[in-house]
């Protein structure tokens, strides 16, 4: 997908509207952002992409991967996968006791869904 579409996909996944994005970008030239998002430029500056990534809370690898410009076979650029990575990063930043609770809950949830997928939910467990 083109870079403008990838940016819009991330904006939608993050719930970021254009005015909010422009506000997060601060003094960055708005016409540059509009040209980029309208597909009027295909060769933007790295600094512009880095500023956009910071404003959207997404890594350059993820944004460029979503656009098919980087990292084939690497991490998924799917917006839901990006959200998962952001949540996992937040869990990693928690104090140890909270991290233990969060990881335990994630493991239980993942185990439950694995049982659902295998059709074994509730089998072999005592009430």
Tell me, yes or no, whether 124 lies in a domain.
Answer: no
Q: Which long-range contacts (CB under 8 A, 24 or more apart) does 64-72 make?
A: 64/3, 64/6, 66/1, 66/6, 66/9, 66/10, 67/1, 67/2, 67/3, 67/5, 67/6, 68/1, 69/3
Question: pTM for this structure?
Answer: 0.58
Residue 124's pLDDT is what?
59
Distance CA 63, CA 10 (A): 8
Domain that holds residue 96: 79-118
pLDDT digits (tens, 9 = 90+) for 83-117: 787 788 788 888 889 989 998 898 888 888 777 77
More confident residue, 83 or 7: 7
CATH of the domain at 46: 1.10.260.40
The count of domains in the chain is 2
Residues 84 and 60 in one domain: no
Tell me, yes or no, whether 126 lies in a domain.
Answer: no
Residues 86 and 62 in one domain: no
Residues 40 and 19 in one domain: yes
Tell me, yes or no, whether 74 lies in a domain.
Answer: no
């Amino acid at each position: 997908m083109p870079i403008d579409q990838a940016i819009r996909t991330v904006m939608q996944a993050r719930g970021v509207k254009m005015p909010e994005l422009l506000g997060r970008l601060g003094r960055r030239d708005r016409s540059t952002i509009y040209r980029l998002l309208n597909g009027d430029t295909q060769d933007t500056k790295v600094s512009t992409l880095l500023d956009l990534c910071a404003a959207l809370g997404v890594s350059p690898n993820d944004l460029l991967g979503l656009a098919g410009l980087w990292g084939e076979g690497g991490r998924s650029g799917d917006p839901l996968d990006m959200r998962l990575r952001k949540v996992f990063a937040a869990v990693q930043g928690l104090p140890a006791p909270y991290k233990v609770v969060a990881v335990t809950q994630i493991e239980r949830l993942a185990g439950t869904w694995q049982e659902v997928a295998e059709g074994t939910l509730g089998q072999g467990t005592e009430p």
